[in-house]
């Protein structure tokens, strides 16, 4: 188990690990020697042999300070490696997360990820900083005492050596019942964390449906499952701890019995018996300590497994060399893709978006429209075929080169809990305040800033909670305008907005897409009609393509879709009087 955790120590601190282990072993041996030396010291004192007592005491005076000094060195080394490990491992996890496919995050539990990066890393760090020293000491000291007792009484030594493997088997049995329960507690805690986060972020929705307090069944269920998993873990760990402790005490009783038997048989003196019992108690103490730390050790090992599993998640292969982007076009060449094996979302999709043109993608829900945008931005890699942006396969472009050519505006807008200016500046961190405000004005965000209490410096809340849906979209468009990328991937999100907000957002979209290459998953009829090319998708395939006029003349699925949307746009509610 310890090996799993030490495998996660950053390379710059890995060289200190052998030194730490050496110091721990040496300190434990000095401690064991000090315990063994108690026997001749006490025996000489009870026998009245002060000369021999002083000689043995001199050896004891070397072993004890050496143990203390080595203990200090071990503590310093452990903390140095542990603190460095926490920082280095979290940085490594952050870098790895940055290299994972963007689509990987769409299926992840935010609570589980947060728990892993913070709590699990801290548990691994704690093992290196101080647990490993206590665990190794709990093993080496008793073994050292057992070996040292060979020079005092071979029968006591043999009993100690026979007890060690028996106690190891008991501890192994306890570990087996713990591992499964700990995994279930981690899953339940991650789910509870996610539900608490959801509870805090979605208060308006929850309150509107009365799902607060006892009415929030998802949160109540997650917390109940967490309590149940915690109880199960306790039930799984406590029996093993109790049995191990009882076995340790049984070993101590056996040692005392052997010592008393030696005294009554005349093999050793009463003075030697007192010394042996004292040393036997020192033999037992580290074993008890190891039993108490067993749960913490198993927790750290389970945490190391989860961290290792995350680091083993396959990253997107990165291109080794830079490419020079050509004209801002987008090409899908016979692309097929599925989020899961055996469940294709796109099948042999091919189309070209010429530089400076707009292609609208329409079709029923689940047709694969948004997946096209995600593949163009390389959220995932296509299972087969090629996706080219600006003349180069997206797999042959470094991530910063590819994403530098793209402005993405999706339906789900996420804003950071920072000021309006900082959220817009995320599109181009080196932009000046003047450039940020110009982009904001083009998206009509200046109107929002005027009514906020602190103007441009107003924090917008977690996820932009203090802004309406239309206002969040305006900030998102301003962010994309500031980036000024030649290719725009747009999943229109105006269908759920009120007419006034929709009109403002549409003006921002027009500003964003002017003179750029655009792929838009279109919902608005005006956007569809003015596109240079329209792709109608169904069941992951392009079933019709052409201009608006060409597709209407074809009188196929697009024409039926257009006619249905046109009729729906004229619907209105009217009062009916009896």
Residue listed under structure tokens 């290792």: 308
Say whether 545 sits in a helix, a strand or coil.
strand
Q: Which two tokens stand for residue 73?
A: 């060195």
Could you tell me if 349 and 300 lie in one domain?
Answer: no
Could you tell me if 393 and 286 lie in one domain?
Answer: no
Could you tell me if 278 and 167 lie in one domain?
Answer: yes
pLDDT at 237: 63
Residue 59 burial (CB count, 10 A): 15
**Does some domain include residue 172?**
yes
Could you tell me if 345 and 270 lie in one domain?
Answer: no
Q: Please report which confidence band the pLDDT of residue 385 belongs to, taking 50, 70 and 90 as the band edges.
A: very high
**Which CATH number characterizes residue 346's domain?**
3.40.50.300
- As a whole number of angstroms, the distance between CA 152 and CA 262 comes to 12
Q: What is the pLDDT of residues 487-538, one digit of tens each?
A: 988 886 555 555 666 666 667 677 767 788 888 887 777 667 788 899 999 9
pLDDT at 578: 46
- As a whole number of angstroms, the distance between CA 413 and CA 408 comes to 10
Strands laid side by side in the 533-538 sheet: 406-409, 487-491, 517-521, 358-362, 533-538, 541-546
Helices 154-201 + 270-311 axis angle, to 10: 30
- As a whole number of angstroms, the distance between CA 2 and CA 7 comes to 9
DSSP strand pairing (358-362 vs 533-538): parallel
Give me the mean pLDDT over the 163-173 stretch: 69
Could you tell me if 295 and 344 lie in one domain?
Answer: no
- As a whole number of angstroms, the distance between CA 426 and CA 422 comes to 6
Could you tell me the end-to-end alpha-carbon distance of the chain, in angstroms, rounded to an integer? 78
Q: Which residues contact 229 (CB under 8 A, 6 or more apart)?
A: 181, 184, 185, 187, 188, 189
- As a whole number of angstroms, the distance between CA 87 and CA 226 comes to 29
**Which CATH number characterizes residue 211's domain?**
1.20.1560.10
Report which of 361, 354, 330 is spatially closest to residue 528, judged by C-alpha positions.
361
Domain count, the chain: 2
Could you tell me if 241 and 179 lie in one domain?
Answer: yes
**Does some domain include residue 235?**
yes
- Least confident segment among 78-92, 150-164, 270-284: 270-284
Compare 100 and 200 and report the one with higher pLDDT: 100
CB 159 within 8 A of CB 254: yes
pLDDT at 535: 92
Could you tell me if 443 and 383 lie in one domain?
Answer: yes
**Does some domain include residue 196?**
yes
- As a whole number of angstroms, the distance between CA 471 and CA 44 comes to 87
pLDDT at 573: 45
Residue 79 burial (CB count, 10 A): 14
Q: Is the pLDDT of residue 566 over 80?
A: no
Domain boundary among 245, 279, 311: 311
Residue listed under structure tokens 């890393």: 121
Could you tell me if 259 and 386 lie in one domain?
Answer: no
Which residue range(s) make up the domain with 280? 2-311
Which one of 38-52, 100-114, 230-244 scores highest in mean pLDDT? 38-52
Q: Which residues contact 565 (CB under 8 A, 6 or more apart)?
A: 525
CB 465 within 8 A of CB 198: no
Residue 161 burial (CB count, 10 A): 15
Compare 374 and 494 and report the one with higher pLDDT: 374
Say whether 333 sits in a helix, a strand or coil.
strand
Could you tell me if 18 and 55 lie in one domain?
Answer: yes
Give me the mean pLDDT over the 552-576 stretch: 73
Q: What is the pLDDT of residues 1-47, one digit of tens each?
A: 677 788 888 888 888 888 999 999 999 899 888 888 877 887 777 77
Residue listed under structure tokens 């310093």: 76
Give me the mean pLDDT over the 395-406 stretch: 87
pLDDT at 178: 57
Query: Model-level pTM?
Result: 0.64
Q: Is the pLDDT of residue 258 over 90?
A: no
CA diameter of the chain: 119
- 452: phi > 0 → left, psi -120 to 50 → alpha, else beta; which? beta
Residue listed under structure tokens 């945490």: 303
Q: Is the pLDDT of residue 243 over 60?
A: yes
Could you tell me if 422 and 301 lie in one domain?
Answer: no
């Amino acid at each position: 188990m310890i090996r799993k955790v030490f495998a996660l120590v950053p390379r710059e601190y890995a060289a200190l690990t052998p030194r730490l282990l050496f110091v721990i072993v040496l300190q434990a041996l000095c401690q064991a020697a000090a315990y063994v030396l108690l026997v001749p010291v006490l025996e000489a004192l009870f026998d009245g042999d002060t000369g021999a007592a002083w000689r043995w005491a001199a050896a004891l005076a070397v072993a004890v300070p050496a143990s203390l000094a080595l203990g200090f060195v071990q503590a310093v080394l452990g903390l140095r490696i542990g603190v460095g490990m926490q920082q280095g491992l979290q940085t490594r996890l952050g870098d790895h997360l940055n290299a994972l496919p963007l689509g990987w995050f769409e299926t992840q539990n935010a609570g589980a990820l947060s728990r892993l990066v913070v709590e699990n890393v801290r548990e691994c760090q704690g093992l290196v900083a101080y647990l490993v020293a206590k665990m190794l000491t709990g093993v080496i000291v008793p073994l050292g005492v057992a070996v040292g007792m060979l020079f005092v009484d071979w029968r006591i030594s043999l009993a100690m050596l026979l007890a060690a493997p028996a106690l190891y088997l008991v501890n192994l049995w306890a570990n087996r019942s713990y591992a499964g329960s700990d995994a279930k507690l981690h899953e339940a805690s991650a789910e509870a964390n996610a539900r608490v986060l959801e509870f805090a972020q979605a208060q308006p929705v929850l309150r509107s449906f009365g799902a607060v307090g006892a009415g929030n069944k998802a949160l109540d269920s997650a917390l109940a499952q967490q309590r149940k998993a915690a109880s199960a873990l306790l039930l799984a760990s406590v029996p093993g701890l109790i049995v191990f402790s009882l076995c340790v005490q049984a070993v101590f009783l056996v040692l005392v019995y052997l010592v008393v038997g030696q005294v009554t048989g005349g093999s050793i003196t009463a003075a030697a018996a007192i010394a042996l019992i004292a040393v036997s108690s020192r033999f037992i103490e580290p074993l008890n300590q190891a039993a108490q730390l067993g749960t913490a050790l198993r927790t750290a090992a389970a945490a190391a497994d989860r961290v290792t599993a995350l680091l083993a998640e396959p990253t997107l292969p990165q291109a080794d060399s830079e490419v020079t982007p050509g004209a801002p076009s987008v090409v899908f060449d016979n692309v097929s893709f599925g989020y899961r094996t055996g469940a294709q979302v796109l099948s042999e999709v091919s189309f070209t978006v010429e530089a400076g043109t707009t292609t609208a993608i329409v079709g029923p829900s689940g047709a694969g429209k948004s997946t096209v945008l995600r593949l163009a931005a390389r959220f995932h890699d296509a299972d087969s075929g090629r996706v080219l942006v600006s003349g180069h396969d997206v797999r042959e472009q470094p991530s910063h080169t590819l994403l530098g050519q793209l402005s993405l505006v999706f339906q789900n807008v996420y804003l950071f809990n920072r000021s309006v200016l900082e959220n817009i500046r995320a599109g181009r961190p080196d932009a000046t305040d003047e450039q940020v405000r110009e982009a904001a004005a083009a998206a009509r965000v200046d109107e929002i800033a005027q009514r906020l209490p602190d103007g441009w410096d107003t924090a917008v809340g977690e996820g932009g909670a203090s802004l309406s849906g239309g206002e969040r979209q305006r900030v998102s468009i301003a962010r994309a305008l500031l980036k000024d990328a030649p290719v725009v991937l747009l999943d229109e999100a105006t269908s759920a907005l009120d007419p006034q907000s929709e009109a403002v957002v549409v003006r921002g979209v027009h500003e964003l897409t002017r003179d750029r290459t655009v792929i838009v998953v279109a919902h608005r009829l005006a956007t569809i009609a003015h596109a240079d090319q329209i792709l109608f998708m169904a069941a992951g395939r392009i079933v019709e393509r052409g201009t608006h006029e060409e597709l209407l003349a074809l009188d196929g699925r697009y024409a039926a879709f257009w006619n249905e949307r046109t009729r729906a746009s004229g619907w209105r509610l009217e009062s009916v009087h009896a």
